[in-house]
Chains A and B, each alone.
Chain A
Amino acid sequence: MNIKKAIRDGLSIVFENFKMIPVVYIANTSLALLLALPVFSLLNNDIGYKGIRDEMTSGFNYEWWSGFSLNAEGLEKTIRPALSGGFAALFDNFELLFTGKFTSFGLMIFLFGLTYIFLNAFFNGGVIGLYADEKRTFSISRFFSLSGFYFHHFFALALTAVLLFFVFYKVIHPAIFGLIDHFSVKWMSEKAVWFLNLAGYFIIGLFILFIKIVFDYARIILVVENKESSWLCIWLAFKFMIRHILKTFGLYLILILAGLGLLLVIGFIQELFQPKTLLLLLLLMIFQQVFIILKIGLRFTFYGSQLELYRQYKPEMITVKKRRKVK
């Protein structure tokens, strides 16, 4: 019951404050556009006059690409067959989480990812700050002033999370697969080794989820409990998560399922929809942008629901008691 209520309440605060979604969406799109423009120009120069453009209008010319990719540098390396499918490019992104090869799309993409992480450390202050506020009245200026207010704490939390994940991918990740290889080196069954590796990836996924949940609650506790120490909040969040492990994980998994549902929808739309005209392409782009907006909305639902779940266990903290003096 708790989870259901948390999601319901979470959704309602997301709706009440829906205007902050466009702010984050604009940040996302601007960053992406900044790199999409050079990609457009390099593609336009390469295939704009070429015969293969006919095939690139309706499908993907593998032969051109495999020649192109041989000497590809920088952003050129990110132009690949996976972009043609409905799901493949999205799988590529999730694959990064499991392999930790974050620079595989080049340094530029890596830096943009990092930028987005810290940019959102800023926005998240506004989002959670407003969600935790009993008045819940959204205004852009309030959003930005709350973002600014919490920034040094949220930045510290984001930095800690990134460093922790760095250690995770450098130490724990290889250790898990090192153990798997050690145990399975003499196994004769190829399938058994395969499933053991799959289990390895599953454990990796659990680890990521674990760290992610702790940091989500750390931010919530920081705002709700009005704490000064981000480190203390991580500790409190950890304790909270462990004490209510079924609820915290359960809530997260349900929301992940919702995310997968969204992914399936956009994946199938992209799979079925191979636009050959500008009009159809624009239509597909609208679908894609709606997906990104929903994805951001869903992320905020995570924050809202987790906040509500936390509140359920801390009834005395219906709202932030001692609201800091914020304009």
Chain B
Amino acid sequence: MSNVISVSGVTKRFGRTRALDGLDLEVRAGEVHGFLGPNGAGKSTAIRVLLGLLRADSGTVRLLGGDPWKDAVELHRRLAYVPGDVTLWPNLSGGEVIDLLGRLRGGLDRDRKRELIERFDLDPRKKGRAYSKGNRQKVALVAALASDAELLLLDEPTSGLDPLMEAVFTDCVAEARERGRTVLLSSHILAEVEKLCDRVSIIRDGRTVETGTLAELRHLTRTSITAELAGPPDGLADLPGVHGLRADGGRVTFEVDDDRLGDALARLAARGVRSLTSRPPTLEELFLRHYRDGDARTANGSTRTAGGDARPVDGDARTASGDAR
């Protein structure tokens, strides 16, 4: 029983939309697991299925050894949840909400609450709408982090937090891991994922497209090469596995699938290499490739390299579509 969460082949439809379409997800005990994917990929839906708020149409879901739909109440004693879009009651203060959620879970540690409120620089006396988005988020974060839950389900917990508070959040999650907690962290903020996550799963259109440690993911991808050649790079563009070749006189830049790296280097060597730099893909390049259309690993002739607009916008479509639902 080393898996805290194991999901396999889960589908969930909303009318015509297939929000989840054969999702697989394994989260091991004690790890911080990054849960990534473009907007509308189904991350929030998957978390709601894990919480037993939605019922999966098919597939199996196990959480902390139980069935999240049938054993919801029992399982919820052992987990804490931070929604992506926190709404508070207009006539309750933040402190009251934190206490309410804590007591529902069987009581909370006052000192810990006070400490977290201080660290997150939150005024617990304000009410509902008086909080900014980031501050509403902090209320939910303090409530979850002050609890003694084994498992934290965090759906874009830092959306709306300023960089200072993001750093506090990163510390808090790191501490939670040290205390042996398991964390499922859905996020669009790659720096956060890189800092915190032991393993990540990337989903798109309700399906898992990649799972593994960041090192493993990097391994499966491409290396960026920049080289100064003695002559023109003839034949390089036709080489299988080479993408996005740009040549400017003797200077070439391109990306190459890692399993074709040898061939490409041999070809370059044949032209006479004056200088060569290679670097592994940045995390952004890695994710962007997975987020975009088409199968990431067989993407052919990709000239779409990461540009200045690389960071995916973090935001929540839910506020926009709230009324339509």
The finding on whether chains A and B are genuine partners in a shared complex, rather than unrelated, reads no
